Amino acid sequence: MDKILRVHMGPEQEPYCTTEPVGEYAGLGGRGMTSAIIAREVPPLCHPLSADNRLVLAPGLLSGSAAAMSGRLSVGCKSPLTGGIKEANSGGQPAQVIARLGYAAIVLEGQPADDKLYKLVIDRHGAQILPADDLRMLGNYDTVAKLTSAFGEKSCCLSIGPAGEMKLGAATIACTDMEQRPTRHAGRGGVGAVMGSKGIKAIVLDDTGMSRREPKDPDRFREANKTFVAGLKRHPVTGQGLPAYGTNVLTNVVNEAGAYPTRNFQTGRFDQAASISGETQAETIKARGGQVTHGCHRGCVIQCSGTYLDEKGNYVTKQPEYETVWSHGGNCGIDDMDAIARLDRLDDDLGLDTIEMGATIGVAMEAGLAEFGDAERAIELVQEVGKGTPLGRVLGSGAGVTGKVFGMERVPVVKNQAMPAYDPRGIQGMGVTYATSTMGADHTAGYAVTANILGVGGTVDALKPEGQIELSRNLQIATAAVDATGMCLFTAFAILDQPETFQALIDMINAFYGLELTADGVTELGKKILKFERDFNERAGFTARDDRLPEYFRTEALPPHKITFQVSDAELDTVFNF
Amino acid sequence: MDKILRVHMGPEQEPYCTTEPVGEYAGLGGRGMTSAIIAREVPPLCHPLSADNRLVLAPGLLSGSAAAMSGRLSVGCKSPLTGGIKEANSGGQPAQVIARLGYAAIVLEGQPADDKLYKLVIDRHGAQILPADDLRMLGNYDTVAKLTSAFGEKSCCLSIGPAGEMKLGAATIACTDMEQRPTRHAGRGGVGAVMGSKGIKAIVLDDTGMSRREPKDPDRFREANKTFVAGLKRHPVTGQGLPAYGTNVLTNVVNEAGAYPTRNFQTGRFDQAASISGETQAETIKARGGQVTHGCHRGCVIQCSGTYLDEKGNYVTKQPEYETVWSHGGNCGIDDMDAIARLDRLDDDLGLDTIEMGATIGVAMEAGLAEFGDAERAIELVQEVGKGTPLGRVLGSGAGVTGKVFGMERVPVVKNQAMPAYDPRGIQGMGVTYATSTMGADHTAGYAVTANILGVGGTVDALKPEGQIELSRNLQIATAAVDATGMCLFTAFAILDQPETFQALIDMINAFYGLELTADGVTELGKKILKFERDFNERAGFTARDDRLPEYFRTEALPPHKITFQVSDAELDTVFNF
């Protein structure tokens, strides 16, 4: 991981690749790398679909090593959805493979002069740019099938679906999992549209012949990794809840807390939540012979994933995540798990962010395009995106654009990115994260559900403003650091509760790189990344006024707690006081 | 004009009206009034379609008096298109009538609890809110016909078409002219969507029984008015060009200058410009028996308007304005004057801003929805808006949204409002105004075409950056002041060139109000208004980063001069240094 691959797409010249030493970006990984490159190299006022934007793929500091859970990929750019900096984070195979191929980052630059499509093929011999017009407007499943048949079962892929080719605001970049299925997505902020604007349909990676990245101090590393894994196994969330039920274990929890955004954030409790809970989902999957415990990348020990089969036992999609089950489920008044799984598959295939799409359909339903609860119509609406109809393009542009086009006031977005599965009135700490994150409304940016609901990392009353700023600030800093390591964010549950597991992570980094990083050093890393991002956003025109929830979260009281968002603007403006 | 009418639309109560003394807003008129009320009363971060936004209608300081040219109406709100403050300015009858009825402002507040439609009826007895569900989704022509038949030939109307009811970003408020045709529009920034969000389909005004507003010093006033009119008659633009050919006299001038944005701002010269020039238009109109010289409101002495008839001599629309002929013409590669007139009529009837719509169709053509030059398809696209199809709603949301939905980079907007008929590369002073105006891209905000092209008010080389900042700054200040008087902006041609005509305008205000305003006082008024507006925009989240043209105006050289926009960002940031 000592080099950067730059892919020059034009328009002055035919596309070509160059490789350079990691240079000034040495020592950065994951989100640290993507945000540094974007903040330094992208003109903050450029059009996100222009040649001036860059798309950066960066494995984490520990990706490609034997470290458990180290397979997360950071994807950075100026976001077509938010207009600010973006890091979208994905599981799947690519991070480990890119790291083993020795690349600290792959940077897509420029734009082809024509509208041809290309694929980028990278193996131990180097990188090639090849035509890919035969893949035009194929879904991710067909795209990956074709590429796998051409490049072999040992390859893995990043690809965009029709949504990315159409350059839509909700377009993702799909990453294949260990079974070469495009089920893992760099989902948020329209990163797929930027890949589409670069004319790259897919990136095929093959690390055959490359070996695992080796630590400087193998013994210390092995020991730390063992302690780290033991901590994950011991924690009730990472050791029991997630493996047994997947992320969807949260449906009952958040619904019970009265913070489950239902029917476009009209209420905080969904009467039919039990039908789509993780517990029900796991039973259904088991009864049909699917997997309920499964990892998305080599080295995963939490195994929160699974496979969802239809009634006849045929594969439909991976086990839908909590956020997806919520967005296409409760948020649209839909309680049909099979329909939700079909929507998840559709999103994955078209290359659409499930959170943005579910939130968008919720807005569309309130606008009268469908009845809340009408699953078949919801499926038709997502299918419209694939057809590229005007309606489909509107929906694929996300909740903000859909709200504008249909003249809606109640549109749950911050910085034009849709809110995920936690109502900011029912979990006020999440409201702080949504409002202030450099990413737009993003639960992963500072997951206050921990202390607000789960009692992880302490306890802060979810319904009161007190303590939420500090909670969100600390989580945002910690998350930025974790996102730099390549570690799955779910390790944070154990890290927050178990000092020895946190220390083990630091020990792994130190043993790998021959460093003497401390906990304070990790905090400093997180702060540094956030400052890069915040600075970019300021230069792109963001102010404190963008760090706000839509007005109606302050005026509409959310049932059942009948509560509005209570954290003051003045307090929100202190989140980045560090 | 010593009272304010407030129209409370709910949602807590049934709609009702109150009247109050003008109070703290005393002495303000037109844009001075609308911007003061919006800046003071509207939460800058509210959703523009929410109950918290207000729609303010304000006649100018001299409206309703015998002053020539004093019939302009200011319409203010937080704009659904730009997200900033908005003053849209319209001719037609309403300003004179509202002023004679004694209202310094009409303020629509709140929002109905249901989605019923209402009309507001105002005469010398007061104001009434009546049901208007029978007018739902009627075009402005049918709406006005129904209202005129109900309220008599002496009434005049403000109304919204289907676009306003659908709350689209390009929706206007139509004002009837002297023949009770809805041909004059408060066009820009989606003011019609705000009226729609208030549930008001139309406002019917009747000043029967009210008398003209009388000046404090009638003799001095009469004398000043006489001097003022003489100045207008004497100036070649206001005395000859505009009456003979209307605003479309500019087509040949701007095209010749190489600053005529053609085919979505791809080039600065349109080969078929002669077919749609003011000269050709006037000949056609005369040959068919239409009027080429006509005023839009009582008291107009410039008479830049007219009526456009079809080949059989039937009325189609008012004589299309230069901006409309450009937007639906050269900007879309269309050289068919009859088609352009039909588009103008369609826009007026649906209640759409002709500038925004033509710019939007230009973007749509570049996106492949139609060929440049295909007039029939352009008409179909505008008709889509009236049908309320998803495509229609996208287009009716303006160029910015259309660009997003179709993944386009080349979208000529500033603050999400489409640029008018002057390429900022070919007329660099207009570029400064587009970039920095509080209104978004708006030619009327600081019409640098004067010194850049017409040699009015001095001469500044259109193709060089030197002198453009000062020119645009001074024009923006002067315009804000003129917009407060109720005077038609075209009086500025004479005012800029003839000190005695400028003095006559000041004398009229002084004689009317018993003041001793000086030229410096007028400048101060303009500055004060701009500061109100700028302050609102800052509180709404705008920064210097919003005072920029899209990137491609700096990178794509415009033929035939092969020039990019040359004024630096640092210089742009000095426009409001006063």
Q: Which domains does chain B carry?
A: 3-205 (3.60.9.10), 215-242+427-578 (1.10.599.10), 246-423 (1.10.569.10)
- Among B46, B408, B546, select the one facing A541 at the smallest CB separation: B546
Burial status of residue B500 (CB atoms within 10 A of its CB: 0-12, 13-18, 19 or more): middle
- In angstroms, what separates the C-alpha of B35 from chain A's closest C-alpha? 20
Contacts of A80 in chain B (CB under 8 A): 404
Whether residues B409 and A540 touch (CB distance < 8 A) is answered with no
Say if CB B216 and CB B135 are below 8 A apart: no
Of the CA atoms within 13 Å of residue B397, those in its CB half-sphere come to: 25
Q: List, in sequence order, every residue forming a beta bridge with B262; answer none if it has no partner.
A: B267
Contacts of A43 in chain B (CB under 8 A): 551
Nearest chain B alpha carbon to A43: B551
Whether residues B50 and A409 touch (CB distance < 8 A) is answered with yes
E strand spans, B365-504? 413-414, 417-418
Whether residues A405 and B406 touch (CB distance < 8 A) is answered with no
Of the CA atoms within 13 Å of residue A379, those in its CB half-sphere come to: 15
Which residue of A78, A165, A409 to mutate against B (max B Cβ within 10 Å)? A409
B345: Cα separation from own chain's centroid:
17
Say if CB B15 and CB B7 are below 8 A apart: yes
- In angstroms, what separates the C-alpha of A87 from chain B's closest C-alpha? 21
A337: Cα separation from own chain's centroid:
22
Q: How far is CA A560 from CA A207, A261, A387, in A?
A: 52, 11, 39
Contacts of B393 in chain A (CB under 8 A): 394, 405-406
Q: How far is CA A549 from CA A118, A425, A447, in A?
A: 40, 10, 17
Rounded Cα gap, residues B194 and B171, in angstroms: 9
- The angle, 0 to 180 degrees and rounded to 10, between the axes of the packed helices A519-539 and A30-41 is 30
Whether residues A545 and B407 touch (CB distance < 8 A) is answered with no
Instruction: Give the pLDDT confidence score for residue B440 in this predicted structure.
Output: 98
Phi, psi (rounded to 5 degrees) for A180? 55, 45
Instruction: Give the closest residue to B127 by CA, choosing from B227, B16, B213.
Output: B16
ipTM above 0.90, yes or no: yes
Mean pLDDT (10-residue bins), chain B, 578 residues: 96 97 97 98 97 98 97 98 98 98 98 96 98 98 98 97 98 97 98 98 98 97 98 96 95 98 98 97 96 92 96 97 98 98 98 98 98 98 98 98 98 98 98 98 98 96 98 98 96 96 97 96 97 97 97 97 98 97
Chain A interface, Cβ < 8 Å to B: 43-47, 49-50, 52, 80, 166-169, 193, 196-197, 389-391, 393-394, 397, 401, 404-409, 539-543, 545-546, 548, 550-552
Percent of chain B with pLDDT over 90: 99
E strand spans, A147-219? 156-159, 173-175, 184-186, 200-205
CB atoms within 10 A of CB B137: 14
* Sheet of A85-90, strand order: A16-21, A3-8, A103-109, A55-59, A73-78, A85-90
Nearest chain A alpha carbon to B401: A401
Nearest chain B alpha carbon to A166: B407
Reported as a single tens digit per residue, the pLDDT across B303-346 is 999 999 999 999 999 999 999 999 999 999 999 999 999 999 99
Q: Which residues contact A510 (CB under 8 A, 6 or more apart)?
A: A217, A220, A516, A517
- In angstroms, what separates the C-alpha of B421 from chain A's closest C-alpha? 23
Q: Is the full-model pTM beyond 0.90?
A: yes
Residues A490-521 as b/e (b if ≥16 CB within 10 A, e otherwise) read: bbbbbbbbbeebbbbbbbbbbbbbeeeeeeee
Burial status of residue A313 (CB atoms within 10 A of its CB: 0-12, 13-18, 19 or more): exposed
B212: Cα separation from own chain's centroid:
25
- Among A193, A407, A409, select the one facing B407 at the smallest CB separation: A193
Chain B interface, Cβ < 8 Å to A: 43-47, 49-50, 52, 80, 166-169, 193, 196-197, 389-391, 393-394, 397, 401, 404-409, 539-543, 545-546, 548, 550-552
pLDDT tens for chain A, residues 1 to 578: 899 999 999 999 999 999 999 999 999 999 999 999 999 999 999 999 999 999 999 999 999 999 999 999 999 999 999 999 999 999 999 999 999 999 999 999 999 999 999 999 999 999 999 999 999 999 999 999 999 999 999 999 999 999 999 999 999 999 999 999 999 999 999 999 999 999 999 999 999 999 999 999 999 999 999 999 999 999 999 999 999 999 999 999 999 999 999 999 999 999 999 999 999 999 999 999 999 999 999 899 999 999 999 999 999 999 999 999 999 999 999 999 999 999 999 999 999 999 999 999 999 999 999 999 999 999 999 999 999 999 999 999 999 999 999 999 999 999 999 999 999 999 999 999 999 999 999 999 999 999 999 999 999 999 999 999 999 999 999 999 999 999 999 999 999 999 999 999 999 999 999 999 999 999 999 999 999 999 999 999 999 999 999 999 999 999 999 999 999 999 999 999 99
Any long-range contacts for A250-254 (C-beta under 8 Å, 24+ apart)?
A: A250/A278, A250/A322, A250/A421, A250/A449, A251/A276, A251/A277, A251/A278, A251/A322, A251/A325, A251/A326, A251/A330, A252/A277, A252/A278, A252/A279, A253/A453, A253/A454, A254/A326, A254/A421, A254/A422, A254/A426, A254/A427, A254/A449, A254/A453
Reported as a single tens digit per residue, the pLDDT across B16-63 is 999 999 999 999 999 999 999 999 999 999 999 999 999 999 999 999
Compute the count of residue pairs across chains A and B with CB atoms less than 8 Å apart.
94
Q: List, in sequence order, every residue forming a beta bridge with A75; answer none if it has no partner.
A: A57, A88
